[in-house]
Amino acid sequence: MFENIQPVIADSILGLMALYRADTDPHKVDLGVGVYRDDNGDTPVLQAVRRSESALLGAQTSKTYVAPAGNAGFNQTMERLVLGEGHAALRDGRVRTVQAVGGCGALRLGAELIRYADPKTVVHVSTPTWSNHTPLLSGSGLTLQPYPYLDAARGSVQFEAMLTALEQLPPRAAVLLHGSCHNPTGADLSQAQWRELLALVQRRQLLPFIDMAYQGLGEGLDADAFGVRLFCAELPEVLCAVSCSKNFGLYRERTGALLVLGHSGKSADALLTHLVRLARTMWSMPPDHGAAIVHGILGDPALRGLWVSEVDGMRNRILGLRAALLQALQAHIPQRDFAFIVRQRGMFSYLGITREQVRALRERHIYMTDDSRMNVAGLRRDNLEYFARALAQVLAKR
Ligand code: LMR
């Protein structure tokens, strides 16, 4: 069966992780995979996670299955985290949530639901978008098409071009949006732009599918959810995939959820039955450990307070790094404008350099994806200078 099978090239981000691991240079800098790092270059277990986990280990009496929809307490607390306490859609009983295997599982589950409802649906994705969106969503059988997003010259959203493209879409087309901290560009919609987009989505009767993998790491836990809260307050149907990988640092626990807003409580109930059925065909029951930890944190005021302060700490470190990076780049490369770095949000920025220049940086032990996406959180105060100098050398070579 498999004797003629050919090796396949790893996903660009996974390939880069392997290259970085294999590099033995002590000065190597990992700006590749989207993982938060502290000033020592570590990704420690959050204190709130550690405490919730110890309590869980002490109290857990069984490892039997939880349920195909996952941990009900987790699902409920995630709804409140994403939509905010007292959101109209929650009050109206129109939201159903299914725990998923990380944000990726939630995205795939959403795609499977759309495909079940109408296999001809096209999902429109930003140019560029996270490299795994394409295989993950198209793997369900849906077709993907791009819409303009990044204005590469300004490092911001080319909003008019985006609106013009979305304005052409037929009713029921799905549009994948990044809730905040756009991956890979860091260029987010402003609140005014979310409002304008809402009007278009209503007018064209589009289905928003929001990917929110970085809540809290852009402007704040509430501010980062502005778009999804607005859309869920004003629209009949919304899908939202959320991840606890980054803001809870639970990467390997694969903890995420798909929130679905239905027309009514009744249609939301029907949607839930399909989500459970589809989850059963993919992973049957989700892993519980990460979800139980998150539920332990969000359900306990003291732990929640600790977690919020840790998320604030991660975000503020990234914002501080952005400012310091801009300063270092201005000092070493004064002829080029890098001001977009402090306007962008979340872990990523697009540097806007060529693939050859990215490869030249790699020779200097600095790793980022070929499209020049850099994980700002991978920098440290003590290697900013090294990075800025290396970039100046590489750019001077043109
Ligand atoms: C990233 O974009 O680097 C992260 O979301 C990790 C991944 O799985 O690609």
The model's confidence at residue 336, banded by pLDDT at 50, 70 and 90, is: very high
Mean pLDDT across 296-303:
98
Of 244, 272, 299, the residue at which a domain comes to its end is: 299
130 is catalytic: yes
Note the pLDDT of residue 326.
97
Ligand 1 atom at minimal distance to the Cα of residue 183: 2
Does residue 292 share a domain with residue 147? yes
Q: How far apart are CA 179 and CA 85, in angstroms?
A: 18
158 CA from centroid of ligand 1 (Å): 24
**18 pLDDT above the threshold of 80:** yes
Check pLDDT > 90 for residue 10: no
Determine the atom of ligand 1 nearest the C-alpha atom of 11: 9
Do 155 and 196 reside in the same domain of the chain?
A: yes
Q: How confident is the model at residue 398 (pLDDT cuts 50, 70, 90)?
A: low
Question: Average pLDDT for residues 288-297, to the nearest whole number?
Answer: 98
Scored b (16 or more CB within 10 A) or e, 231-269 reads bbbebebbbbbbbbbbbbbbbebbbbbbbbbbeeeebbe
Q: Within this chain, do residues 149 and 96 fall inside the same structural domain, yes or no? A: yes
Position 70 in a domain:
yes
DSSP 92-103: TT-EEEEEEEHH
CATH number of the domain within which 34 lies: 3.90.1150.10
Annotated catalytic residue 246: yes
Residue 59 forms part of a structural domain: no
Pair 195, 320 in one domain? no
Cβ 13 under 6 angstroms from ligand 1: yes
Q: Name the residue range of residue 341's domain.
A: 12-44+313-396
Which ligand 1 atom is at minimum distance from the Cα of 130?
2
By most ligand atoms within 8 Å of CB, the mutation choice from 12, 36, 130 for ligand 1 is 130
User: Among 12, 33, 376, which residue has the most ligand 1 atoms within 8 Å of its CB, making it the best to mutate?
Assistant: 33
Q: Distance from first CA to last CA of the chain, Å, rounded?
A: 49
Provide the pLDDT for residue 9.
Answer: 78
- Please identify, by atom number, the ligand 1 atom nearest to the C-alpha of residue 243: 5
Q: What is the pLDDT confidence band of residue 20, given thresholds at 50, 70 and 90?
A: very high
Which residue's alpha carbon is at the smallest distance from atom 6 of ligand 1?
34
In this structure, are 364 and 278 located in the same domain?
Answer: no
State pLDDT tens for residues 245-282: 999 999 999 999 999 999 999 999 999 999 999 999 99
Q: Exactly one of 48, 106, 165, 246 is catalytic; name it.
A: 246
122, part of any domain? yes
Instruction: Tell me the two tokens of residue 202.
Output: 């209503």
Cα of 289 vs centre of ligand 1, distance in Å, is 21
CATH of the domain at 73: 3.40.640.10
The percentage of the chain sitting over the pLDDT mark of 70, rounded to a whole number, equals 100
Please write the tens of the pLDDT for every residue from 362-395.
Answer: 999 999 999 999 999 999 999 999 999 999 999 9
pLDDT bin (cut points 50, 70, 90) of residue 8 is confident
> Does the CB atom of residue 296 touch ligand 1 within 6 A?
no
Last residue of a domain, one of 264, 299, 334: 299
Give the chain's domain count: 2
- Over residues 172-176, mean pLDDT: 98
